[in-house]
Each structure stands twice: as structure tokens, then as C-alpha cells.
Amino acid sequence: MNKIFAEKLKEYRKELAIKRNEKVGQIRLATELGISKGNIGNLESGKRPPSKTILIKLAEHSGKSLSFWMNGVDEYEAPNTVDLVLDKMIEADLIKDTDLSDEAWEIIKKAVLLEIERKIK
């Protein structure tokens, strides 16, 4: 089910090891991504599909697109621009609760407009 993703993740660890000229095990990659070693093991064995958060972390860490990581993931719906922007804003503490600043609303508005443009093209 998630075999393609599992193979990509294993291959990515091998690429890192070659690039860094040192072993990059599951624990090391998990630490760098901020997730548990168990998550990496389950993902590499295909026992569980990646979450949106893990896909985003892998895309940021690897410099590879979300599309690259999502290809072959059967149980995942691609995040839209608004989801990604909201996640980043929360991560950057621009959003802490539902009382949003004017700056936050402007950023959200731009993301919604981008998503609308994407959908109507």
C-alpha cells in the first residue's frame, strides 16, 4: 500500500549517507525530522502512511517536492495552500489562538486567493 513511499524514504536515507559520507540511520533521521524512531521504522516498512506533518518535514528536509513524497501514498489527501500556510503560521507563532492579527488575516487571504486561482484554472 505504501511501498513506493517506504522505498523512497529508505533511498533518501541512503542518499543522505552518501552525501554526508557517514551512516544515517533511522534514529538520526527521526531526530533531524523531529519525529520518533518508531515512526521512521513504521514508514519504511509500509506499516503506516505518512501524516501531512511528516510529508511536509520530509519535503523541507530533503528539498524534494511534496509531490515527490506523495507519489505512491494511497491514503493521503494532498494539502492545499491554505493548510500549508496555516501550519507554517502556527509553527512560527503567528497564530496562537482564534484572535488573529490583521497581518495574519492578510497572509491567510493571500493563501485563499492562491487556492481559488489554482482551482479555477
Residue type, 74: D
Domain tally for the chain?
A: 2
Q: Are residues 50 and 103 in the same domain?
A: no
Is pTM beyond 0.75 here? no
Q: Looking at residue 78, what is its pLDDT? A: 52
Please report whether residue 93 resides in a domain: yes
What residues have CB less than 8 Å from 44, skipping those under 6 apart?
Answer: 6, 9, 10, 26
Host domain of residue 66: 3-70
Q: Are residues 59 and 90 in the same domain?
A: no
Q: What is the pLDDT of residues 65-102, one digit of tens each?
A: 888 888 755 444 455 677 778 878 887 788 888 899 99
